[in-house]
Structure 1
Amino acid sequence: MQKTYILGIESSCDDTSAAVICNGKVLSNVIANQEVHSKYGGVIPELASRAHQQNIVPVVQQALEKANIRKEDLSAIAFTRGPGLMGSLLVGTSFAKSLALGLAIPLIDVNHMQAHILAHFILEEGSTIPPFPFICLTISGGHTQIVKVSDHFDMEILGETIDDAVGEAFDKSAKILGLPYPGGPLIDKHAQLGNPKAYSFTKPKVGDLDFSFSGLKTGILYFIQKKQRLNPHFIKENLNDICASIQNTIVEILMDKLKNTVSQTGIKHIAIAGGVSANSEIRKRLVTAQQHFGWTTYIPKFEYTTDNAAMIAITGYLKYLNGSYADQTISAKARLKVTE
């Protein structure tokens, strides 16, 4: 079988990543994180794009070295076109276009949100690829969507957030508790030591398959302010229980929506994707759902949940097989739906 090498480049937010895939298998997946944002409590777009400019050449070089190939061996270059921060996307887009032009090989644009879902098609030992159609819950810092996937590039949004994304709800809740950015993983860590039923928060009332997290964030803020007036040490003394209760509420909201989706569509193949799918509680609940509801669940490896280039490369490989290439006039797009 002829070897097809795809270089994937991901630069949608604050991680510069490059990966090489050969016929669907990951040979390398290099990620350079940007520590510069932690002291600001969030990603600063201008600083992010500058860091991408510094990181992109060494990251691509490392990806090629780890894959043990030369740039001349590449079959095509895949890159994140959007959605994301415009300055960050421009760095990856410009680099990919130049490299593809210099090597005279195809250029493939990738939708970042589709790539999160298609990470499930990376060929790994012991992993199972979901059959079509399947439902994917895409949960990240910028997105919360329920997507029906009928084919690799045939997707339909069944439900989505009407305001904030679930990752933002985790991070803002962490900020209220005085935890550093990014706070989502820290809430998960403390939650494992706490009682998830210690405190109750009101779940938003929206459509059957839609989400809303802005009211929940406000509810958590008012709850903490009220408790601190009575006891200034409330957070410190109850941090594990508070985190467990917040996480339990958020995961219950996600699971309720998935149950509604299964009952409306009859599809019982359920996948998760995006940064928040690294959360230990949502993973645990999905495993339990297999036994309780007869679902078949597909949970990606941790390294393919956050922003990474392996998911860009696998999407590029699937588009390469279709002959779906971009030309040099293509430009980055900050806003892009999963269906585009």
Structure 2
Amino acid sequence: MATTTTDGRLNVFEKCRISPPPNTVGERSLPLTFFDLIWLLSHPFHQIFFYDFPHSKSHFIDEIIPKLKHSLSLTLQHFFPFASNLTVFPAKNNSLVRKPEIRHVEGDSVPITFAEECDLDFNDLKGNHPRDCNKFHGLVPILESPFRVSDDVVKIPVFSIQVTIFENTGITIGLTNHHSLCDARTEYDFLMAWTSIAKHGTDELFLATRSLPFYNRVIEYPDSLDDPWLNLPAIRTLDERYKAPELVPRADRVRSTIVLSRSQINKLKKWVMVQLPAMEYVSSFAIGCGYVWSCIAKSRVHVFGEKGEYDVERFGCVVDWRDRLGSPRVPQVYFGNCVGPSCVATTKTT
């Protein structure tokens, strides 16, 4: 079958579901911590990965798809929450009766779509120059709709995959996950495992060289239904009518990649050290963020004027707190969300 995207014709030639190997996971659940709950009503997390693939569609179907399916199944036995559902228990008399959780039961699976992009230019999309943001929307999947399994239980799908071939040019792998499932660090670990298993055909090397996900909830999670986060009105009304926010087409947005070479970063560091001689150390991350921030501020002044909407600039980023929480220590392979926003600077546009 086929479906139409905003920017072209996307031919979907297979939709299927992939589960962990039988009897490898069973019934398991994962409580939501404070760091998971704050993302419960946020937009899903989208990622697209580009791979050069100068081969035919038939080669992709015959050789690549079976490997992707097999390796994904093996990966899911180690990263079972990706094949699980966010399980919520609708409130009664406007009061929660049980806390939401990530729950896996035997037979749960990940939906995966295999498609062919016929109109868009792969090399244009993977470039660094400004590209229309809308062109990327058709390459990431949407999350499936929630479904009620009983009077007291509603399941909300949390993960979806789309693999798209640009014949004789490349492949994109688009991922969408509900942010309450995990952060980018956890998803990176999942992708590294899937990559290793797909490359070698088994999980032996992955098990020998990398650590398995850490599922123990060393981060505090609500121990009662009176937790303020659980009593937000929107959380109390989560049920089968919930719809995750989707990407909205915009006519005034482009996506561009800024590449700073090592020599450029070093020049910026030297300039900063001259301007601020008391500073003992400046990181490449700080230099990169500062440079991009200044470019954005200047462009907004150019568009809106100094007295416009953006006369005060604030810089913020999302911080991984795994190494910052003290005792008990949170391992790098902790599964879930362990990030939070940090507003690190405010300045007035001049």
**Superposition TM-score, scaled by structure 2 size:** 0.24
Structure exhibiting the larger radius of gyration computed from Cα positions: 2
Higher helix share: 1
Higher strand share: 2
**Superposition TM-score, scaled by structure 1 size:** 0.25
